Structure 1
Amino acid sequence: MMRILLLAVLLLTVACGTVTPPIDIAPDAWISYDHKTSYFVSDAGADSVRLTVKYASFTFLDKSAELLPVAKSVFQRISNELAEKRGTVRAVYDSSKFYESVAYNGVSGVSTALVSNELTFSAKADSSGTPTSAIEPVEIVQKLEALKKALDSGLITKEEYERKKKEILERY
């Protein structure tokens, strides 16, 4: 009898899964974005914040892992809106550093995906709305790495590499 009770408690616990944010967030601290999404913003520095987005959907089957790309696209939308509110051109984040948590609640039929990442707000817009910096540090690294790969694979010469590298660094 005790085994059956323990098994029932275990099954109920598994069936009622919940997502776990990377930091403790009070239930009333979440900001409602739409009927499926809520988010939380916490300061992480002078020009950066940690954005946590919770996206839930009625699925009646465990589709929580399939919701991650949707949650990340909603994360992108919210981060752009936060950048606009701050008067910056956009929010930059490292997509390889996403915190991800997924869960399925078998009792209610709700799949939930939670994503969190640090956003850095960059390139303040001037009065005309034009960015004061046309290229972001993350983009510079990506462009330089791609340029180095092109050199290493023989697609460009050393002179072309140096010229393009200089152009990229001058724009920053």
Structure 2
Amino acid sequence: MTSEADEDAAKHYHGHRERLRARLREAGPAALADYELLELVLFRALPQRDVKPLAKALLARFGSFPEAISAEPHRLAEVKGMGPSAIAEFKIVEAAAQRFAKGAVKKRLPMGSWTEVVDYCRTSMAFENREIFRILFLDKKNGLIADEVQGSGTVDHTPVYPREVVRRALELS
């Protein structure tokens, strides 16, 4: 009887996985809650297990999908159930998001609004654990020429040297 209950549970979470994937395909990522996106990432790392409780525990600990994905590996490992393969999947997603955002630099996509600038910066550095002085160099059409970290500091302070900012802007025209 126990094996029958285990078999039903296995069918349920495999059916759940397919339902989530289908909803992602049909309705897009906006139709999924943060914990469901975390589940989709965890499915690959933990194929033989119901990952919904783990996804919800990660949200309780870190607050949101992007904060969980970008958390330091040692902090992720503190959550029961997060092993090396699950942490690696999170770091793959984080690297892909950063690479995607930096693709805008190579294509010189225009940043037409303040919201686009903020979204780009969030993707690049939202969860850093210390202050970073980052410069976005734009052309006259607001196309991103370069994105450079000019300096990093402590938790609440970063030195800035205006002469270096101007020198680099002149180099990049």
Q: Please give the TM-score of this superposition, normalised by the length of structure 2.
A: 0.34
Q: Choose 1 or 2 for highest CA Rg.
A: 1
Task: Give the TM-score, by structure 1 length.
Answer: 0.34
